[in-house]
Amino acid sequence: MLRYTLLRLGLFAGSFAVIWGLVYIRVLPAGLGDSNLFWVMLLALVISGPLSYVLLRGAREAASVQVSQRVERAKRNFEATASHEDAADDAARAAQV
């Protein structure tokens, strides 16, 4: 999961650097007034999103497998704990009767 996050952040940083360079050499228009940084960040987000969907497919699928395994492990632990609690409750009720 951390690998995918770092790859996604790197892709955004790369997009930001390329777009900043294109704005600097006036290939892309600069923002209005002091909004240049906001404009470049917004454009980098718009560009890096679809790129990450295509380029990071393998890393995203690996992260998805890790997350689903954690969820399944948490479900099993929850069910095991719940069954222990149910057994303790049943034993306590039997002792009261």
Per-residue pLDDT tens listing for the chain (97 residues):
889 999 999 999 999 999 999 988 888 887 766 678 898 999 999 999 999 999 999 999 999 999 999 999 999 888 878 777 666 667 777 777 6
* Alpha-carbon dihedral angle through residues 28, 29, 30, 33, given to the nearest 10 degrees: 180
Geometric angle at alpha carbon 38, from 34 and 40, rounded to 5°? 110
Q: Which domain holds residue 67?
A: 2-96
- CA nearest neighbour of 6 among 45, 53, 56: 56
Cα separation, 79 vs 9, whole angstroms: 37
Q: Where are the beta strands (DSSP E) in 1-97?
A: none
pTM across the whole model: 0.69
pLDDT for res 97: 63
Phi, psi (degrees; rounded to nearest 5) at 43: -65, -35
Structural domains counted in the chain: 1
